[in-house]
Amino acid sequence: MNPTNTNLKLKRYLSWVFALLLITGGCKKEEVTDNTSFAIYYTGMTDIGPSMSGVIASPTFIGAKPNSFEILSISLDGATYSGNSFEINKDNGSISIKETTGIPVGLYKITVSCYSNGTRYEFKNAIEINMMKPVPDGITVEPNKLTVNYSDIIDPQSTAELPTAQVTTNKNHVSIRKYEIAKSDFSKYFAISATGVISIVRGDATLLPGKYVLSLKLTTGASKEDEGIFQNAIEIDIISKPLSLIYTPSLGKIEEESALSGKTSFKSNVPAYKGSMNDLAYSIKSISPATNKITIDPQTGVISVPENHGFAAGQQYKVTVNAKNVYDQAGVDFNDVFVLDVVKFIEPIQLFAYQNKNATQAVAFNVNPDAGFKGDEVRFEFIELPAALQGKLSLSAQGAISAVKGNTIPLGAYTIKVKATNPKNESIASFTLTVGTNPNYFTYVRYGNNLGLAPAENYANQFRIAVGAALSTVKPTPAATDAKVSLTYEIRNIQGSGTINAGTGQITLTTVNAASCGVFMVTATAGKGTPEEYAVQTPVFIHNSQAVNAAVVEYSPFVFQVNPNTGGRSTRPAITGVADKTKFTMDYRRTFNYYNFFGTQLSGQPTVENSFIRGLFDKYAESKGTNPNYGSRDPLSYYANQANLTLPLAYLDASTLELVVNPNKWIYNGEAANGAMVGQITFGIDGKDPQGGSGLFPIVLWFDTKF
């Protein structure tokens, strides 16, 4: 693998070894001998294969620092288990997983104890580990190595054909029922279809060049017990020339050497490099004005100046750096990528400290360095930031630490270390961030469904108005929530109209067109108007099922929840009122409305400039080498794409009338669809292309990468 820095290298290495899915959970206090408020929170490791090893990090905690950890018991699928594969660090509570060769597969739950302030606590089932069996022999990926140019992937407008690989079995000795990519830090960049085709997601701006090794989760039978892990199934090498080089900061300062300053020197930060790491080498192309006192480390790119440089205050040097790798031997010049100013004096870092911070779950906060802090040209960086905080805290150029409203930092106490560095000295400050319970925090409101679909949480928030019934016969009302306080409800009419009872959340429908679907967004707020205010948004869908020329089409569920990266296939619809169902045909025709829910895309039809779905129509046209037609059915039509059904964004399978969503088609400018699409479908009763048939809107596509 070719990482861009040490942290990324470690992160990817662990992903190769473990194929991890990290989840955070709280452990309830099981035995307490006093009234002290104390709890610990472990990060769980799942999806581990045989012969794998690893470490589950130390828990975070509320209360005094715990110690004297012990494993009290281990269960395997509910039965007591004894073995030496799990060991706990008595001092910090981290758990090592080793000697897993031959270990039984199944779900392991570990109960631990510890002491805090002299009090002993027990935490039942604090950690869960899913040990998966390997897949049967004879399953391979062909080819098991792919090489692809970064420029072909990152450009969402690119029409270059990306390579794919196929999961195969040895002479079909075993059938594979379900294909998944094992979760990792980079699994989102890749997809696998329902037939085992592994592909690369095009247009995600966060993807970096490098080697990625994927493991697969495969189900080879009819039950979850037949699920196994295919370790290191395929290596995908994304190659490129040097693409970018950024020094942060890009302006450095060095003191002139004097009686006041003494001998001075300078070192820049390691630059952020983007490109393949193979045979990467840095060199200085030019310095203006010329000097031989500024040098660069060819391996790291660090720019430095030794003592006895002789620079004088007021001078400025601009450095152009050349970076080359195996894919560009001449290298790429990054002009004036770093500037060094010479000054008389730099204030050393003094009195660098933070005060401990008590924060509230999901509430924004800010922590600044103490008022007495001094220092010029200071650079700040986190040191040993706990995993639970990574990606959830911001550190400004002034040393301010913040988290946004709605942040997902778990409950617990965290030690945060920040290093401040300038050319004179460095200092490390640490403080404790304690995230306490927000009485207003909750995660869901579910309206359920009236279709008889279970479990309700998998098919929530969809209601059908029966043929011939009035809108008033359906009044969706919240059926479940984990909120512990009263909620205030508001509604946004997206397609259709209705009102909501602010106290109960009951929806009264006023307009949903016949043979069509309504889309509404309900916002439930706890503690409205207080600093601890917290809100959850829930989409609610309505199908007004009415006959069109005697025909009734009903999908159950009529909300097709689909991951835009992987695609999928809906259920078959129930068709009534048709004499010969074998000649009943359907196809998408017009009025394609995309509604953004939680992304940044612009809602609207393809005719709307800069709308998300317009971009998808553009991509479809490019794939066919034609000009986009924003009034055409073709990007979602079966009949317009019969020769190649991998081209459309989605289509209705002519043989089953199931709605098929093709993988990686609902992504534009690197952002996957996160909303709903409702389009008109026309039907015919003569077995032919129904392009001129009667129209209805019987199904909603709901996109989310969490599905």
427 domain-assigned: yes
CATH of residue 384 = 2.60.40.10
Tell me the residue type at 243. L
Domain boundary among 530, 546, 562: 546
377 domain-assigned: yes
Which of 12-16, 675-679, 698-702 has the weakest average pLDDT? Answer: 12-16
331 and 394 share one domain: no
What is the model's pLDDT at position 599?
85
Which tokens go with 77? 């699928």
What is the model's pLDDT at position 169?
83
Which of 11-25, 98-112, 318-332, 525-539 has the weakest average pLDDT? Answer: 11-25
Tell whether the model's pLDDT for residue 362 goes beyond 70.
yes
What is the model's pLDDT at position 8?
34
Mean pLDDT of 598-616: 93
* Burial environment of residue 224 by CB neighbours within 10 A (0 to 12, 13 to 18, 19 or more): exposed
CA separation, residue 77 to residues 56, 81, 107, 201, 218 (Å):
20, 9, 5, 36, 20
CATH of residue 573 = 2.60.40.2730
With cut-offs at 50, 70 and 90, classify the pLDDT of residue 172.
Answer: low
572 and 701 share one domain: yes
Tell me the residue type at 572. R
705 and 581 share one domain: yes
243 has which bridge partners? Answer: none
With cut-offs at 50, 70 and 90, classify the pLDDT of residue 583.
Answer: very high
Which of 148-152, 364-368, 506-510, 673-677 has the weakest average pLDDT? Answer: 148-152
Distance CA 390, CA 385 (A): 7
Q: What percent of the chain has pLDDT over 90?
A: 62
578 and 700 share one domain: yes
Tell whether the model's pLDDT for residue 36 goes beyond 70.
no
Tell whether the model's pLDDT for residue 157 goes beyond 80.
no
With cut-offs at 50, 70 and 90, classify the pLDDT of residue 304.
Answer: very high
* DSSP-derived secondary structure letter, 374: B
What is the model's pLDDT at position 555?
97
What is the model's pLDDT at position 543?
98
Identify the residue with better confidence: 516 or 188.
516
Contacts of 193-197 spanning 24+ positions with Cβ under 8 A: 193/566, 193/567, 193/663, 194/567, 194/568, 194/569, 196/166, 196/167, 196/168, 197/164, 197/165, 197/166, 197/167
What is the model's pLDDT at position 43?
58
Task: Determine the 3-state secondary structure of 570 from DSSP.
Answer: coil
Mean pLDDT of 537-557: 97
CATH of residue 324 = 2.60.40.60
What is the model's pLDDT at position 195?
82
CB-CB contact of 213 with 234 (8 Å): yes
582 and 479 share one domain: no
489 and 576 share one domain: no
What is the model's pLDDT at position 221?
62
Q: What is the pLDDT of residues 447-470, one digit of tens each?
A: 999 999 998 888 889 999 999 999
CB-CB contact of 82 with 74 (8 Å): yes
CB-CB contact of 30 with 124 (8 Å): yes
For residue 179, how many other CB atoms are within 10 A of its CB?
20
Q: Give this prediction's pTM.
A: 0.59
Domain boundary among 287, 311, 343: 343
CA separation, residue 252 to residues 290, 305, 383, 514 (Å):
17, 11, 22, 67
Contacts of 240 (CB under 8 A, 6+ apart): 149, 150, 151, 209, 274, 275, 276, 327
Tell me the residue type at 281. A
CB-CB contact of 425 with 72 (8 Å): no
413 and 431 share one domain: yes
Domain count, the chain: 6
Pairing state between β 365-367 and 487-495:
unpaired
Q: What is the DSSP string of 480-542?
A: EE--SS-EEEEEEEEESEEEE-TTT--EEEEE--TTEEEEEEEEEEESTTSTT-EEEEEEEEE
Distance CA 339, CA 157 (A): 36
Residue 528 belongs to domain spanning: 439-452+470-546
Q: What is the pLDDT of residues 192-213, one digit of tens each?
A: 887 889 999 887 878 889 899 8
87 and 52 share one domain: yes
What is the model's pLDDT at position 51?
58
Residue keyed to tokens 């980079």: 186
CATH of residue 30 = 2.60.40.2710
423 domain-assigned: yes
Distance CA 356, CA 362 (A): 18
Tell whether the model's pLDDT for residue 50 goes beyond 70.
no
With cut-offs at 50, 70 and 90, classify the pLDDT of residue 116.
Answer: confident
457 domain-assigned: no
350 domain-assigned: no
CB-CB contact of 405 with 377 (8 Å): no
Tell whether the model's pLDDT for residue 441 goes beyond 70.
yes
CB-CB contact of 375 with 348 (8 Å): yes
Q: What is the pLDDT of residues 415-429, one digit of tens each?
A: 999 999 988 899 999
Mean pLDDT of 408-413: 91
Mean pLDDT of 644-648: 92
349 domain-assigned: no
393 domain-assigned: yes
Tell whether the model's pLDDT for residue 173 goes beyond 90.
no
225 and 84 share one domain: no
Pairing state between β 281-288 and 272-274:
unpaired
What is the model's pLDDT at position 31?
31
Distance CA 671, CA 661 (A): 17
Average model confidence (pLDDT) across the chain: 87
447 and 537 share one domain: yes
644 and 687 share one domain: yes
Domain boundary among 546, 580, 597: 546
What order of strands is seen across the sheet that includes strand 516-526?
462-465, 534-544, 516-526, 487-495
What is the model's pLDDT at position 7?
37
Mean pLDDT of 597-602: 90
Is the peptide bond between 564 and the residue preceding it cis, with omega within 30 degrees of 0?
no
Distance CA 325, CA 1 (A): 15
Mean pLDDT of 595-607: 93
Distance CA 571, CA 698 (A): 12
* Burial environment of residue 450 by CB neighbours within 10 A (0 to 12, 13 to 18, 19 or more): middle
Distance CA 408, CA 391 (A): 10
CB-CB contact of 395 with 378 (8 Å): no
- Phi first, then psi: what are they for 13, rounded to 5°? -60, -45
Tell me the residue type at 685. I
32 domain-assigned: yes
CA separation, residue 386 to residues 3, 45, 127, 413, 594 (Å):
21, 16, 18, 10, 39
For residue 261, how many other CB atoms are within 10 A of its CB?
17
With cut-offs at 50, 70 and 90, classify the pLDDT of residue 471.
Answer: very high
370 and 380 share one domain: yes
Tell me the residue type at 242. P
